[in-house]
Structure 1
Amino acid sequence: MYSGSTHHPERLSNEQVDAAVSMLAMLAEPTRLRLLWALRDDELGVGTLAEKAGCTPTAASQHLAKLRLAGVVVNRADGTARLYRLAGGHVLRLLLESVAQADHTVTGTPDHL
C-alpha cells in the first residue's frame, strides 16, 4: 500500500485530481495508447507513428495534438518534420505500469506487490 511522503500529501487537491484524470484520460483511448507505446523508446515522426499505431497520419496528428496539449508528449522541429517523444519519466512509468497491469489481467499472471 502506498504510504505517502513529503512529496505527496495525504489528501489530493482538486488541481491534482483534475491533472491526474486528464493524464489518465489520454491513456484511455486505443490509438493514443498505441502512439505512446511507439514512443516509449524513441523520438518519432508522425508518419512512422501512424504506421506503428495502425492509423492515418491525419488521425495520428490529431491525437498527438491532444497529447501535446495535455503535456503527455513534446515535439521539436527537425527540418520540415515534427518529432515527438514522451514528456518525461513519469509518463513513461505510467505507460509501462498500465500495460504491465493489463498484461496481468489478460494473462491471469498474479500481481506482485
Structure 2
Amino acid sequence: MGESVNKCDCQAVNEELAEKVKSEMEDNSCFSLLSAFFKLISDDTRIKIMYALSKSELCVNDLAVILNMTKSAISHQLKLLKASGQVKSRKEGKFVYYSLDDEHVFEIMENALIHVKHKK
C-alpha cells in the first residue's frame, strides 16, 4: 500500500526523546482495540451496568431493578458487553448471573471513578 495520509512534515525538537517515546508506542491495532473499548463503555447504560457488576455478580432482574430499566433493555446491553468480552455469565437454575470478566475491567472502573470525582 501507499504512504500514510497523515505523514509527519516536521523535525523533532528533541530527536532523542521523540525516538525513545516512538519506540515505546504500542502498535496501531492495540490503539484501535483501546478506542473500541472506550466507545463501548461510553454509553451511560453500559457504564452503569459495569459499575453495578463491579460491586457484585447480578442477574438481569436485579440489574433492571437497580437501574430502573426493563429486562429487555438490560439484556440488550449485556449482550454487547458479553460479546466484547467485558462481562461473563454463569447459569444457576433459571437465572443467568453476570460479572465483570476480569480484575482489569474492575480496576479501570475504579480508576475512572476516582478521576471524575477528583475533577468534580
Classify the TM-score, shorter chain: 0.7 to 0.9
Percent of residue pairs identical? 26
Instruction: Name the structure 2 match of 1:93.
Output: 107
Question: Which structure has the larger Rg?
Answer: 2
Structure with greater helix share of residues:
2
Following TM superposition, by how much is the alpha carbon of 1:26 offset from its aligned partner in structure 2, in angstroms?
Answer: 2.0
Whether contact under 8 Å (1:35, 1:52) holds in the other structure is no
TM-score (norm 1): 0.80
Name the structure 2 match of 1:23: 37
Tell me the TM-score normalised to structure 2 length: 0.76
Show structure 1 runs of 4+ deviating over 3 A.
none
Q: Contact between 1:31 and 1:55, CA under 8 Å: does it hold in 2? A: no
Name which of 62, 68, 72 aligns with 1:48: 62
Aligned partner of 1:37 in structure 2 is: 51
Specify every segment of 5 or more residues in structure 1 that has no aligned partner in the other structure, as ranges.
1-8, 107-113
RMSD: 1.3
Q: Aligned runs of 1:50-65 on 2, under 5 Å?
A: 50-65=64-79
How do residues 98-109 of structure 1 correspond to structure 2 at under 5 angstroms?
Answer: 98-106=112-120
Asked whether 1:14 is paired with 2:25, we answer no
Gaps of 5+ in 2: 1-22
CA separation in 2, counterparts of 1:80 and 1:15?
Answer: 39
CA distance in 2, matches of 1:92, 1:39: 9
